[in-house]
Structures are given as C-alpha cells and as structure tokens.
Structure 1
C-alpha cells in the first residue's frame, strides 16, 4: 500500500492512510482525504477559503478516477458547494458522463443534495478587494463586472504564486489504484478558467495495471502535454517510474510560449514505487508519503528543470 499527496494534503493524508490501513478501497480513501483538504480553511488553493477569480467568486474543480475500471468523475467551475471531489465521485457513479462544468455541475450537485457553501472567507477576499480598488479605474469599478477582463487577468498577481492543488494517489491492499484532485485554481483567474485538475489525463490519471500520476502547479503546462496520462503510458511502455517522469519533463521542455512555470509531477506504480519531481521549483519542495507503516511523513521531492 502507498499514499502520495502534495504539501496541501496535510489535513487529508492521515485520513487516507488510516482508511487504507483498515482495508478501505483506494477510491474511498482518496475521496475522504481530499474532502479533509477541501474543509481546511488554511489551504488557500483548495475548497473553503480558496482564492476568488477576477469577479470575486470561488470556482472549484475536482476529479476522481478508479484505476480498476478507468471510470472517472470530474467537475469544473463549480460554484456554491463545499466538496467538489464528492460531486465528481457522484458523476462517476450516477451518470453516463465523465465531466460536468459550470451551471450543469451546480445543478447536479444540488440534485444529489451536496453540501452547499460559497467557500468565501474575509481574509481571502481582502486581497481581491485591494486588487479591485488598486487596479480598476473609477469608471471600471462602476461598470463592474461588465468590463473587459482579459488584460486584467494577464496583470493579476496570484497572492500565493505556487498555483496549488491537492492531489492524492493511492494503492490499496488489493492492488487497486485511485487518484483524486481538487483545486480552487489560480487566484484572480479569468471566470470559467479550467486548469488541468478536471481534465482527465492532464492533471491526473490512474490505471491499476500500470500506475497513476497527478500534477500541481501551472496546469496549462499539464494540459498541453497530457502530462498525467503520458506518465502512465510511459510506464505501460515498460519504462521505470523514474524514466517515465524524466520523459514527461522532456515533453514539458518542448513547450514554447504560453504559461511556462512551476509544475510538480507525482506518480506511483502498480508495484508500490513512487516518485515526486518538482519541475522548475525555485526552492526545496515537499510532499506527504505513507508506505503502509506509521504515519504519513514529510518528504523532500526531487527537482528538475524544463527550461
């Protein structure tokens, strides 16, 4: 058994580890761990207390994948609900679809009785209010939100630059692998922006026959390279987990233009190996690892460059 989750997974890691130790399925354990992070107001990039978009609303993305069946559930730009990971799980279990976004995702969440919450906190709205007062002209403020936002999006400064997400990858005692991701996305993003988290194969992919991978950081990079699916495919082709992530870094290095920034690759194999590689990280990077014994432990990631 193994669990890998990124630094934002602090509150959820013990939950998932304890469930796996009791024999709970990887899928159930991953969902429970991600919910723990979504409820933590101290994590600014996931769930409660996440950073708002340019018009001061919190839009949440999440996805979950069952590595045994390759069924997925994904929601994007979901507003007004506390646990997008559980709404995504319900998509997997209750619908013939794999992804819902925007108003459709919110409609489905209400239909299943998902817990409602606007997720806004005063201390996460204060930076947005400061941006609004500082960057918009009096005329723009009067007309807001009916103004052009594209240039403001380009100029916005994320209060927490790492553009975080939480990712959970787990292998249970039966050999089943599952993955889950949840995020509030990039602070002050253009409304409706989807990063890699809800895009299956970009931000996360799980296949019990080979392994799983998930990404945090600049999701646009993961989308352009299908980073998570690529990592699993490289393992399917016979590469070791180390070779697979090195190949993904080479894919990332080919990107020209657009957003090229920090991205962290997390992976586990069907045999219980793991690797976490912080690409373009400006400082040491850490994650949580549980390998079937004791409590999850704080572990330093490897670092690499794609530029």
Structure 2
C-alpha cells in the first residue's frame, strides 16, 4: 500500500481534486468517489453526465450510475433516471439504504430518490437542448411528399426517424461515461461510474454503467476496473469483471485492460465504437487502455498538486 490514490477516465479531472481532498483528510474511498463524481455531474460543460447531459431520442435526459465496494463487493446502481442531477448519490443510497436490491431503474429509482429527499431539477440545459435540436435539422431523407396510404406513411415515418437517429453521433471533443476509482488510507477500494449514456439513445436504454461486472467491478483481493465508451460491448464481455479476473491471474493493470479490449474486438458489432477501460490494484498500481492514440487517464496521489494525465496503452 503506497497511500491514497484516485484515478479516473477522461474529463474526471473536474472531480478528482475533490476526491483527493477527501482521501488526504483521511476520508473513505466511498466518500471520495461520490464527491468526485458529483463534481463531474454538476459540470455544465460536460454533456455526458448529470445536468447538461445529452438527451435520448425523445429529447429527455436519462442518467445511469453505480458504486461498488471492493471489500464486500456491495453494489448500488440506478438506471434511466430522469429529473435528478446526481445519480451517483442515489446509487449510494441504494447501496446503503436498500441492501436487498442492487439496481433500481426508471420511475422506481425516481420514487426512491424522492423518498430519500433528493431534489428534482431540470437536466436539459439550453446548450444541450441546442445540440439536440441541431441534430434534428431536416435532411433529404425526411418524410415528405405524396402519401398513398396513411398506414404506409406512418411506416415510412418510423423508418426514417430511426435512420436519422442512427446517423447521430456525439459532438467533437472528449465524451463518454466518467469512471472514478479510489483507494483510501485504510486500504478500501471503491469504483464509481456516472453517465447520461449514448446521445439520442432509445428511451429506457440502460448501459454498462449500471451493470455489475460490465461497466464497474471491484474486488479488494485483486483490484477494481471500469469501462467507458461502447457499453454494449462491455456488457457482452463483462468487461470490468474480466479485467479484475486477469489481475487475479497476475497480469498488471495495463495488460489486463488490453486483454479485455482484445476480447471485445473479436465480437461482431455493426455499431462498433471506441471502448476504453482502466484499473487500480490494492497496492496502488494502475493502468488503462484504449483503441485510439492520444487517449489518457487521470491520476492523483497525496503528493499531487493537480490532476496528472497519463497515456493509455493502445490496442
């Protein structure tokens, strides 16, 4: 054990200083991960978590988040939550106050949030609304022109709408789920993830961020891991769990992350997109991998004066 450390995916630098402040004061990894991810969720410049997240295909922001504790493998998560800006805190409430369950989604998660005093707020900011509207501008493939039958017109409208949604892509710049992994002075390891999911996703879609073993996994014996990017691939490979299993077999964090990406690369997927991962061990070693050059992850220790950017290994 080399002392407290916290690592995160791209854009976690908005929250890592808050997480390290908790750890440096002797606080728990659980408190640190929640504090760090709340800062990321409240960052209005980030359109892939919390307030300001990009909406689903109906123009509604839906959020997923989870937390896992390495010593007990206790897990709490929420999915497809609307109207609550900090899903990571609701996930923690599930973990601590509803231990008979691991995951709440949709209206049930929102009811639980209300029962526990979480305040509702508008998640779709003017900027994220503008990004959504710009993606909906008319195109040559819009449904217009002569109709021969109402039923045929309705069918074509649905097909064209799906084609339009399938053409949507995230805006330029870093994007995706945010992962934060923390190791505290007592040796506890916690992994947390938060996301607004794929932009323009089908309403009700829940990705890997809310699924134990897929986007998030922690086992204090070996380490913790988390994924960001093409969540459907990490769900199909149980990516985070696979990384921890390889840590248990003796691979270092970089090797374990690369092995998971190599496995995911063998799967057929017509919607294949970037998948990234990172890992942290109980003795403070860390590593990350991606499919693109120039990808980084973020690290802070007690001696850090600011977030430090480290290169990911590239598959």
TM-score by length of 2: 0.89
Cross-structure match for 1:114: 118
Cross-structure match for 1:268: 280
Asked which structure has the greater CA Rg, the reply is 2
Which of 89, 96, 102 aligns to 1:86? It is: 89
The separation in 1 between residues aligned to 2:107 and 2:162, in whole angstroms, is 22
Cross-structure match for 1:242: 254
In the comparison of the two structures, how many residue pairs are matched?
Answer: 298
The separation in 1 between residues aligned to 2:187 and 2:46, in whole angstroms, is 31
Kept in 1: contact 2:83–2:120 (CA 8 A)? yes
Distance 1:106 1:169, change over 3 A: same
The separation in 1 between residues aligned to 2:214 and 2:306, in whole angstroms, is 26
Kept in 1: contact 2:258–2:313 (CA 8 A)? no
Kept in 2: contact 1:288–1:296 (CA 8 A)? no
**Alpha-carbon offset, residue 292 of structure 1:** 2.5
The separation in 1 between residues aligned to 2:310 and 2:126, in whole angstroms, is 33
Alignment of 1:179-194 (within 5 A): 179-194=191-206
Asked if 1:151 corresponds to 2:163, the answer is yes
Describe the SS at the equivalent of 1:158. coil
The superposition leaves residues 172-191 of structure 1 with CA deviations (integer Å, 9 ceiling, x where unpaired) of 11110001100011111111
Cross-structure match for 1:34: 37
Kept in 1: contact 2:16–2:307 (CA 8 A)? no
| 28-37 or 3-12: bigger deviation | 3-12
The separation in 2 between residues aligned to 1:260 and 1:180, in whole angstroms, is 24
Cross-structure match for 2:148: none
TM-score by length of 1: 0.91
Kept in 2: contact 1:196–1:219 (CA 8 A)? yes
The superposition leaves residues 92-129 of structure 1 with CA deviations (integer Å, 9 ceiling, x where unpaired) of 01111000111111111111111211211111111222
**Alpha-carbon offset, residue 161 of structure 1:** 7.2
Kept in 1: contact 2:261–2:276 (CA 8 A)? no
The superposition leaves residues 29-50 of structure 1 with CA deviations (integer Å, 9 ceiling, x where unpaired) of 1011100110110111111111
Describe the SS at the equivalent of 2:228. strand
Alignment gaps of 5+ in structure 1: none
Alignment gaps of 5+ in structure 2: 146-153
CA RMSD for the aligned pairs? 1.9
